Every structure is written in C-alpha cells, then in structure tokens.
Amino acid sequence: MILTIAIENTIISVGCFQEMNLRFVENISTNLARTELEYIMCFQSMFDMHGIEKRQIDGTIISSVVPQVTNIVKKATKRMTEKEERELLVKGDNFPTFFAGDIYVDE
C-alpha cells in the first residue's frame, strides 16, 4: 500500500493506494505551526477511520508546494511508517490534488 500526500497552500490531501485502487482520500488544513507529532496523530486517525494499519504501508509519495511543511511531514511519515518516502517536486504554485500536472522527481 502506498501513502500519498499532496501538500498545498491551504489543504493537505492524504490518500492511500492499494495496488491501483484508491482506499481513501482525506484532507486536513495546511498549518505551518503543526508539529511532527500532530501530523502523526492526524495520519494515524485517518488510518484508524479506514481500517489501515501502519505496517501495511509499503512507501510514501509526497508532493508539495509548501517547503516549510514538507520536511515536517517527511519526518512524520518516516517515523510513523518506518519507511523512506519518495519526494516529488512540483512545478508551479497552483497544483491540482493527486498528481495532475508537471511533476519532477527529486533523486
């Protein structure tokens, strides 16, 4: 299962894909003051609501147009899932949710 996180200016969209099937999509507000632990609690609540255990997560994909939030979310997902994430850098500042548009992989 892949955890996907799209960090936008006002909303963070979180989804989970199992193979090609989208298991869920939930949104939380983008908040520059939110801590790593607060993000972990948000993500864990989403998992609990949808019957997903963190051990089921094989990896994480993060896209972001808010650099100030990116590292906190990366740390939270790594700590929560104990998996490395793949960060996607997004061109432009008006990025539609869930990876439509120009995407560049940071390697």
For residue range 21-41, what is the model confidence (pLDDT) as tens digits?
A: 899 999 999 999 999 999 999
Interval 73-90: pLDDT, tens: 989 998 988 866 554 444
Report the percentage of the chain scoring pLDDT > 70: 77
Q: What is the pLDDT of residue 85?
A: 53
Is the pTM value of this prediction over 0.95? no
Q: Where would I find the beta strands (DSSP E) of 1-107? A: 2-7, 11-18, 21-29, 59-64, 85-90, 103-105
